Amino acid sequence: MTMTPLNLLADTASSSERFASFDVHPWQWALFVGVVGVLLVADLLLVHRDAHEITFKEAAIESAVWISIGLSFALVVLWWHGGQAAGEYVTGYLIEKSLSIDNVFVWAVIFSYFAVPPKYQFRTLFWGIFGALVLRAIFIFAGVAVIERFDWALVVFGLVLLYSAWKIALHHEAEIDPDKSIVLRAVRRVIPSTNEYDGQKLFTKRNAKRVATPLFAVLIMVETTDVVFAVDSIPAILAVAREQFIVFSSNAFAILGLRSLYFCLNGMQDRFRYLNLGLGVILAFVGVKMLLSFFFKDWFHDYVPTWTSLVVISIVLTVTIVASLRADRQDEVTTGVS
């Protein structure tokens, strides 16, 4: 069959229809951003108004609340645009949430390096999450635009994910060393800094001059590492959803709960010994899926249901967590016996 411009347009439309697609009016975007903003401000001014060291119990309760809010929004998407859109939202949420666990452990390294007092860590992460939402929005809209304009971008994103999967699974991630951070060194050259903390302030005055406190350096490192992790997570989510609202909302709700998740998981890296392997499998899966959707477009979309990603990711996360906890428990028993 001869490919005419009409055929090409039809093929492009058919491809886009395999993902949930719908119009989101400006007022709906404004409403969603407003809800996210209210949740952030309420968390800062009501729940964490006074600086204090967050206990595990407090963090666990808050994590449960944030996860409930994030998953409950899937019901809104289900009511609004149906099962496919809701499935893509939940899949994107799980991908971002699981990949963010590595980010949480990196935060622990950064806070330890700068010796940030525990009671000041939450406020720093608040601004870190705020910046992450802005950066993710830029990456998401740019990523979707690139894919819509250049089909071959799927191949690039797929290969990036496969490379990231190999690095994470084999624990070959780059070491976090603030002293070697080009971004941090550049900021320090431009902005005068002090090594003394002044409560939760990012800036303070020394000798009548405004200078940045170590918390500002911590914030720069948190934002820098988030950019690095976004290189993995954004392409991964674009493998299961293309509607900007679904991708951003799933990212936003997953990120909002990271602060409380950090205080839950801080110091528990060793309990999740198989986490990197599980994350590597997830990234490899979505990377292969992205490549197949480009090279075998018709076959892939005819025989691979959209809910496959949700099932595979859920199974991998469950097996990873259960296997890690069982291995940790077995080590405790063995150590106790010996």
Q: Which pLDDT tens digit goes with each residue over 199-209?
A: 888 888 887 78
Q: How far is residue 207 from each of residues 195, 204, 211, measured CA to CA in Å?
A: 14, 10, 10
Average pLDDT, whole number, for the chain? Answer: 80
Q: Confidence class of residue 10 from pLDDT cuts 50, 70 and 90?
A: very low
φ and ψ at residue 12, rounded to 5 degrees: -65, -45
pLDDT at 245 over 90: yes
Q: How far apart (Å, rounded) are the C-alpha atoms in residues 19 and 11?
A: 14
Q: Confidence class of residue 231 from pLDDT cuts 50, 70 and 90?
A: confident
Q: pLDDT, tens digit, for every residue of 129-149?
A: 888 888 888 888 888 888 878
Which runs of E-coded beta strand occur in the chain? 203-206, 209-212
Q: How far is residue 298 from each of residues 87, 106, 181, 294, measured CA to CA in Å?
A: 21, 40, 45, 9
pTM, two decimal places: 0.81
115 vs 272, residue with greater confidence: 115
Identify which of 96, 61, 91 has the alpha carbon closest to the alpha carbon of residue 74: 91
Q: Confidence class of residue 4 from pLDDT cuts 50, 70 and 90?
A: very low
310 vs 69, residue with greater confidence: 69
Q: Are 246 and 80 in contact (CB under 8 A)?
A: no
pLDDT value for 311? 85
pLDDT value for 93? 92
**How do beta strands 203-206 and 209-212 pair?**
antiparallel
**Domain segments of the chain as ranges:** 24-332
